Amino acid sequence: MMFSDYLFDFVAIVWFAIISIGYGYYADYHGKKRPTLSSTLDLYRGDWMRRVLMRENRIADASVLGNLERNGAFFASSSLLIMAGILTAIGYADEAMAVFQDLPVVANNNGRTMWELKLATLLVIFVYSFFKFTWSMRQYNFCSVLVGSAPLVNEEKVSPAARKAFANSAAEVANLAGDTFNLGLRSYYYALAVLAWFIHPIAFMVATTAVVVILYQREFHSSALTALRSGKVFEDEK
């Protein structure tokens, strides 16, 4: 096949790379200047860890951390299963292509090479998500250890400065775990956009743009963000 046969596909994958990576940088940069879901939850986690030091019984805190860790485990396991399915589809490319070609909405896949490139793109995304979710799980595990080692309420040997430093450290670990989980979850959204590539490269570009718009709206302008920002926990926010 000539290069022109692949032109739309290459334009689509370049567009996907630019807009997905670009949105990641945009969200990180503007998240430091304006309220977002991530930055707001960071403040709540800081408030949570300060309250941990006020409680004698921390069973509820351990339970919350366990639930958060299990969420990461669920998505990590799902990523493994999806990767296994993608590898199977690559191994049976001819049969899978024949099934897709019979669908009326699917455009010409430009042969086995382009089919395998599309599946490889999906595979890379889910490998990325697997590493993000497992790293999030480990970070929540670190946070569980920190909560277990938190100074007791009446422990006189621990100074107020040490308590503050501990709460800040535990909150930072929890924030890192939450941000890492968010990146893994974001990759699932991008994987849905890649599925549109099997229909047509233009559909892929439109789906990628739509996914980024949805992510932006939820991160910067969602009703959940408004509800979170209404808490009195932010009265002393600078």
Q: For 150-196, write each residue's pLDDT tens digit.
A: 888 887 788 889 889 999 999 999 999 999 999 999 999 999 999 99
Among all chains, which residue has been given the structure tokens 């860790």? Answer: 69
- Domain annotation covers residue 100: yes
State both tokens at 138.
Answer: 């480990």
- Cα separation, 205 vs 23, in Å, equals 15
Among all chains, which residue has been given the structure tokens 């408030």? Answer: 47
Is the pLDDT confidence value at 70 over 90? yes
- Domain annotation covers residue 109: yes
- Domain annotation covers residue 151: yes
**Global confidence as pTM:** 0.88
Domain count, the chain: 1
Question: For 49-66, how does the pLDDT look when each residue is reduced to its tens digit (9 = 90+)?
Answer: 999 998 888 889 999 999
Full residue range of the structural domain in which residue 152 is found: 39-188
- Domain annotation covers residue 177: yes
- Domain annotation covers residue 79: yes
- Domain annotation covers residue 27: no
Is the pLDDT confidence value at 40 over 60? yes
Judged on CB neighbours under 10 Å (0-12, 13-18, 19+), 204 is buried
**Secondary structure element (H or E) that encloses residue 106, with its range:** none
Whether 80 and 189 have beta carbons less than 8 Å apart is answered as: no
Phi and psi at residue 213, to the nearest 5° = -60, -45
- Domain annotation covers residue 215: no
